[in-house]
């Protein structure tokens, strides 16, 4: 079984902005280009599970326009991590002491003071992962970098990162695909 993780196209956001679960649209042209490329790469008969955030829904619609047989379903478990008070703030402007508090207890401390703890993100992505594995079919998730990193950990058998350094640092660029088995 394969799981294709598609990262949305670049959002309409200022460079360096922490936007997490803020519902930003993606660049229209970039979304169209990603859909054109991916429509030829994905095998037939796949189901699309889509984050409810606009930038992912845009990619799903663009893919369906090129591959009418693709059936999409919104899955709230695939939304990006909510960064609390840091949403809409430039990463460079986030107080370093606050950031260090989060990193010191990465799984439990809510980012931005009132965001979603990594434990909660991992739990919801694990629920989606387990449902995919139990379903016994190839699938596509149209989602975000945080969800992709969580899925990568799950593919390695890790249900919760013990430390911030356990979190995968590398991530695919906007509009790219990660395939897991």
How far apart, in Å, are the Cα atoms of 42 and each of 63, 75, 162? 10, 20, 34
Residue 5: helix, strand or coil by DSSP?
strand
Q: Can you tell me the distance from the alpha carbon of 55 to that of 9, in angstroms, rounded to the nearest whole number?
A: 7
Percent of the chain predicted with pLDDT > 90: 92
Average pLDDT over residues 13-40: 97
Q: Is the pLDDT of residue 106 over 80?
A: yes
Please report which confidence band the pLDDT of residue 170 belongs to, taking 50, 70 and 90 as the band edges: confident
Q: CATH number of the domain at 3-180, please?
A: 3.40.50.1240
Average pLDDT over residues 68-77: 95
Q: Could you write out the three-class secondary structure of 18-85?
A: ECCCCCCCECHHHHHHHHHHHHHHCCCCCEEEECCCHHHHHHHHHHHHHCCCCEEEECHHHCCCCCHH
Percent of the chain predicted with pLDDT > 70: 99
Q: Is the pLDDT of residue 57 over 90?
A: yes
Q: Do residues 49 and 128 touch, judged by C-beta distance below 8 A?
A: yes
Average pLDDT over residues 4-22: 97
- Residue 162: the pLDDT is 83
- Residue 172: the pLDDT is 81
Q: What is the mean pLDDT of the chain?
A: 96
Look up the pTM and report it. 0.95
Phi, psi of 91 (to 5 degrees): -50, -40
Residue 6: helix, strand or coil by DSSP?
strand
């Amino acid at each position: 079984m394969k799981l294709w993780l598609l990262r949305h196209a670049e959002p309409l956001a200022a460079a360096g902005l922490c936007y997490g679960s803020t519902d930003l649209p993606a660049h229209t042209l970039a979304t169209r280009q990603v859909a054109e490329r991916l429509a030829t790469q994905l095998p037939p008969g796949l189901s699309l599970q889509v984050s409810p955030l606009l930038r992912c829904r845009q990619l799903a619609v663009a893919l369906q326009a090129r591959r009418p047989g693709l059936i999409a379903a919104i899955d709230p478990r695939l939304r990006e991590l909510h960064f609390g008070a840091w949403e809409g703030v430039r990463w460079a402007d986030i107080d370093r002491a606050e950031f260090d508090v989060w990193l010191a207890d990465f799984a439990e401390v809510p980012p931005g003071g009132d965001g979603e703890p990594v434990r909660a993100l991992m739990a919801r992505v694990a629920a989606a992962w387990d449902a995919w594995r139990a379903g016994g079919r190839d699938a596509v998730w149209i989602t975000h970098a945080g969800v992709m990193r969580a899925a990568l950990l799950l593919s390695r058998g890790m249900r919760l990162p013990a430390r911030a350094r356990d979190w995968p640092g590398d991530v695919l660029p906007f509009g790219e695909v990660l395939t897991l088995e």
